[in-house]
A and B are shown apart, each in its own frame.
Chain A
Amino acid sequence: MSERQIQLEVLRYDPETDSEPRFQSYAVPCKNEWVVLDALNYVKENLDTTLSYRWSCHMAVCGSCGMMINGEPKLSCKAFIREYSDKIRVEPLANFPIERDLVTVVEDFIAKLTRVKPYLIPKEDKPISAGEFKQTPAELMKYKQYTLCINCMLCYAACPEYALVPDFIGPAAIALAHRYNQDSRDGGRDQRQEVIATDEGVWECSFVGACSEVCPKHVDPAGALQQVKVASTIDWYKEHLMPWVKK
């Protein structure tokens, strides 16, 4: 197993003692197969127990360990050391306030998730005893990719609109609303439109597409946003030009 010494430059910030963030550099002997998270864990265990960061699953599914690595939003558990030079800079996710070191304040994202009503609002009521709602594999495919979001918030860190307009509901939350809108069992689109077909919703997006590029799960929030825009435009035309047609 080959080893390589890297310099890990980590943003440090403790609101109790630091007036502003600073960088601290650690020399870390890395195994070739390591990810950046392994290097951080090496620091925590061997060099500096005061470093704070979030992590858990180490398999890119819990969504805890999103960070800026050399300026790009990444899951640190899936950012392989072998893909970087000997100096790696690690910072907290951009566009979020820093709570401590690599830990960000994420309440804004959680609040936005909640606002878009990300749960099934059934088209028809049906008791459990009546069995499952039938859904064909083709119907499942229509929304499946949007269920894969792990809420890691890399897309918010990459989004230029969110950086400028903090009220923007943002990629992951809108993609999640779209996920339920596209679900054959759901009848809640009108309720979600009130939230997402607004200036703070899809119309804020300028379709840069950075969100889809950084998504570690290949969800395509930019695609979802565009689909919501098209559908909302059709709604508008129907409402204003053909008021006799039901949406």
Chain B
Amino acid sequence: MEVINTDVAIVGAGGAGLRAAIALAEADPKLRIALISKVYPMRSHTCAAEGGAAGVIKPDDSMDLHFSDTVGGGDWLCDQDVVEYFIHEAPKELLQLEHWGCPWSREPDGSIAVRPFGGMKIKRTWFAADKSGFHILHTLFQTSLKYPSIQRFDEYYTTDLLVDDGRCQGLTAIEIRSGQMKHFQAKAVIIAAGGASRMFPFTTNGAIKTGDGMALAYRAGAPLKDMEFVQYHPTGLPNTGILLTEGCRGEGGILINKNGRRYLQDYGMGPETPVGQPVLKTMELGPRDRLSQAFWHEQKKGNTVSTQWGECVLLDMRHLGEKKINERLPFVRDLASSYLGVDPVKEPVPIRPVVHYMMGGIHTDINAATPLPGLFAAGECACVSINGANRLGSNSLTELLVFGRKAALSAIAYIQSGLSAGSSAALATQAKASESRISALCEKKGGTESIAGLRKQMMDTMEENVGIYRLGDELAAACKKISELRRRYAGIEIHDKSRVYNTDLLQALELGSMLDCAEAVTVGALARTESRGAHQRLDFTERDDQGFLKHSLTYYHPKEPPRLDYLDVVITKSQPGVRDYSGGKK
């Protein structure tokens, strides 16, 4: 097996992975950097983020406001020391991107423009029309081409982390083109491999978002944190799950039910605000969890619009006018027109909540370090606890940058702390075992399970039992089912026997990742007998700060369900309070 020696291996080349790679290259041009991704960097799902990135820049804004919006938005499950660090780094990172050429939208005087976003008290979302993630990703990718020390391994699928002497010291990855396994020996590893929302059938997430990075860390012994918190974005196209950005509402779009009523006023987010004059942090600019929950209630009341793709409410943007829609929301217009046949300039768009983001992920601390020495993580795959129980829109793009960079700096500090060289023999043995495992999977005959079949059962289980509102019985059934699917996974067979670009094999490995992550979600959700942020229990309807002002930690077991543990939330200055989205009125 070919051995590739490097200083830092990064798994994932989206926003966080690229930012980490650039930070490493800038800090020390002599560092050897291996940037490993199962796709070419510009295919990474950062490209699909639309609305923008939050960072305090305008004189009417303040760090304190960004802090309180984020912590309250997260229903006090955020670690406040980390939020503090995050909001202070945010403007610097967004300016850095500007200096690298990101085409941010501008005010007439040439300064950065900001737009309103849900749950934010002040306009602070930097945007590049409605393709902010796309431009961030391409700016980072293009900038990364300046640095010869960033050695890319495009289309390599990482299968295992290698751990010896209690430290992560590399990984094995399949070169997809040849099917050959490679052994990367690294002094530190950064995982930046994105979320896992493809475990649900109806999601904004691209096909690649299968939780591979989370599963890698989890299997190597690092716990997953707060996995039960899954964000539904309130405005997805009903037939495809394609996202229509929160920017639609930031620009003034309204949500109405089948009676034409702006129903959000009936769920603690009123009083009604004038059409076309959005008021921050209320009505349509409430947080995502509340808006998605309001949809659920409207559906129960029979107030939703029936479409051939299920029940919907309507996102009405007609009053914004063609000019503004073309300037601020051109992609939204294109997506709704092309994929649903509804032009937002002329008609209200049917939408419904759609799985969008995992608040949970690999447990990391303020330094983006996991509990496993040598292993760092950043971006959606990580849970550094700035998002708590509900992420505010436009915090995650900034998170990629702030913690992508931080992971790089922490990895450098770790390497410089003077490590003894690991045992190459032990690592080579592990790499060999990893190769053998994949070979055995490929060569196995007489399988009893189909990959697509197991995947569908997993998705259906998650959708039916682990949705916007949850019940103990249903969650228990989901735990049992996912556990059963994990067992049955041993019965799959790879029918594609070619070594070249074998997507049958990749889908099998991705399914394995998703099943492990899904079990962490279900087990965490069942045990959390309270309602907080995006985790709402119909049988435990109140937030329970006595029992659950805590992060859940799930520890992997190869055959059994994970071991569950809890960790106190870090509170520095904001005690848990009431989340008020009533626009300040009683």
Binding site for B on A (CB under 8 A): 1, 14-17, 33, 44-46, 49-64, 78, 80, 99-101, 103, 106, 110, 113-114, 117-120, 122, 126, 128, 131-137, 139-140, 143-144, 147-148, 150-151, 176, 180, 183, 185-186
Per-residue interface assignment for chain B, residues 283 to 317, with 1 indicating a CB less than 8 Å from any chain A CB and 0 otherwise: 00000000000000000000000001000000000
Question: B residues 221-271 with Cβ under 8 Å of A?
Answer: 239-240, 242-243
Q: 20 A–B contact pairs at CB < 8 A?
A: A1-B308, A14-B498, A44-B452, A45-B452, A49-B452, A49-B496, A56-B206, A56-B207, A58-B240, A61-B47, A64-B39, A99-B501, A106-B40, A117-B146, A122-B99, A132-B111, A132-B112, A139-B110, A143-B103, A180-B101
Complex CA distance for A49 and B495, rounded to whole angstroms = 7
Query: A80 — nearest CB in chain B belongs to which residue?
Result: B338
The 8 closest A-B pairs by CB, nearest first: A134-B110, A120-B101, A56-B206, A100-B501, A50-B496, A45-B452, A57-B206, A118-B142
Complex CA distance for A78 and B100, rounded to whole angstroms = 31
Complex CA distance for A114 and B504, rounded to whole angstroms = 31
Q: Judge if B558 is at the interface, Cβ distance under 8 Å.
A: no
Query: B504 — nearest CB in chain A belongs to which residue?
Result: A49
**Contact A56:B45 (CB < 8 A) given known A49-B451, A133-B99, A134-B111:** yes
Contact B110 A135 (CB under 8 A): yes
Contact B501 A186 (CB under 8 A): no
Checking B45, B239, B495 against A62 with a beta-carbon cut-off of 8 angstroms, the contacting residue is B45
Contact B502 A52 (CB under 8 A): yes
Contact A100 B100 (CB under 8 A): no
Complex CA distance for A143 and B103, rounded to whole angstroms = 9
Per-residue interface assignment for chain B, residues 484 to 504, with 1 indicating a CB less than 8 Å from any chain A CB and 0 otherwise: 000000000001101111111
Checking B42, B103, B507 against A151 with a beta-carbon cut-off of 8 angstroms, the contacting residue is B42
Complex CA distance for A52 and B99, rounded to whole angstroms = 40
Residues on the B chain within 8 Å of A62, using CB: 42-45, 47-48, 206
- The stretch from B131-139, B358-366, B420-428, B470-478 touching chain A is B131-139
Query: B239 — nearest CB in chain A belongs to which residue?
Result: A33
Residues on the A chain within 8 Å of B92, using CB: 128
Contact A99 B110 (CB under 8 A): no
Contact B100 A119 (CB under 8 A): yes
Complex CA distance for A101 and B176, rounded to whole angstroms = 14
Complex CA distance for A63 and B141, rounded to whole angstroms = 14
Contact A59 B242 (CB under 8 A): yes
**Contact A56:B39 (CB < 8 A) given known A1-B308, A136-B109:** yes
Residues on the B chain within 8 Å of A44, using CB: 452, 503
Contact B99 A63 (CB under 8 A): no
Most A Cβ at <10 Å: residue of B48, B331, B499, B501: B501
Q: Judge if B436 is at the interface, Cβ distance under 8 Å.
A: no
Complex CA distance for A56 and B242, rounded to whole angstroms = 12
Complex CA distance for A186 and B357, rounded to whole angstroms = 36
B44 shortest CB reach to chain A, Å: 8
Contact B45 A101 (CB under 8 A): no
A140 shortest CB reach to chain B, Å: 6
Per-residue interface assignment for chain B, residues 14 to 42, with 1 indicating a CB less than 8 Å from any chain A CB and 0 otherwise: 00000000000000000000000001101
Residues on the A chain within 8 Å of B110, using CB: 134-136, 139
Residues on the A chain within 8 Å of B452, using CB: 44-46, 49
B132 shortest CB reach to chain A, Å: 12
Complex CA distance for A242 and B108, rounded to whole angstroms = 38
Residues on the A chain within 8 Å of B95, using CB: 128, 131-132
Contact A63 B43 (CB under 8 A): yes
Query: B138 — nearest CB in chain A belongs to which residue?
Result: A147
Q: How many inter-chain contacts with C-beta < 8 Å in the A-B complex?
A: 154
Q: Judge if B433 is at the interface, Cβ distance under 8 Å.
A: no
Checking B105, B135, B208 against A56 with a beta-carbon cut-off of 8 angstroms, the contacting residue is B208
Known: A49-B450, A58-B242. 20 other contacts (CB 8 A): A14-B498, A16-B499, A49-B504, A49-B507, A50-B495, A50-B498, A56-B39, A56-B45, A57-B45, A59-B48, A61-B47, A61-B331, A62-B44, A100-B500, A101-B501, A103-B501, A128-B92, A132-B95, A132-B111, A133-B99
Contact A61 B131 (CB under 8 A): yes
Chain A interface helix/strand/loop/mixed: loop
Residues on the A chain within 8 Å of B98, using CB: 132-133
Residues on the B chain within 8 Å of A15, using CB: 500
Question: B residues 527-581 with Cβ under 8 Å of A?
Answer: none
Complex CA distance for A56 and B43, rounded to whole angstroms = 7
Q: Judge if B96 is at the interface, Cβ distance under 8 Å.
A: yes
**Contact A58:B500 (CB < 8 A) given known A122-B99, A136-B106, A185-B101:** no
Question: B residues 95-123 with Cβ under 8 Å of A?
Answer: 95-96, 98-101, 103-106, 108-112
Most A Cβ at <10 Å: residue of B101, B105, B106, B138: B101
Complex CA distance for A120 and B240, rounded to whole angstroms = 36
Residues on the B chain within 8 Å of A139, using CB: 110
Contact B501 A110 (CB under 8 A): no
Residues on the B chain within 8 Å of A56, using CB: 39, 43, 45, 206-208
**Contact A120:B496 (CB < 8 A) given known A57-B206, A62-B42:** no
Contact B496 A114 (CB under 8 A): no
Complex CA distance for A114 and B496, rounded to whole angstroms = 34
Residues on the A chain within 8 Å of B105, using CB: 137, 140
Contact A100 B498 (CB under 8 A): yes
Checking B44, B99, B331 against A120 with a beta-carbon cut-off of 8 angstroms, the contacting residue is B99
B397 shortest CB reach to chain A, Å: 15
Contact B207 A55 (CB under 8 A): yes
Query: A50 — nearest CB in chain B belongs to which residue?
Result: B496
Query: A14 — nearest CB in chain B belongs to which residue?
Result: B498
Most A Cβ at <10 Å: residue of B111, B498, B507: B498
Query: A146 — nearest CB in chain B belongs to which residue?
Result: B103
**Contact A63:B112 (CB < 8 A) given known A52-B501, A133-B99:** no
Checking A46, A58, A133 against B207 with a beta-carbon cut-off of 8 angstroms, the contacting residue is A58
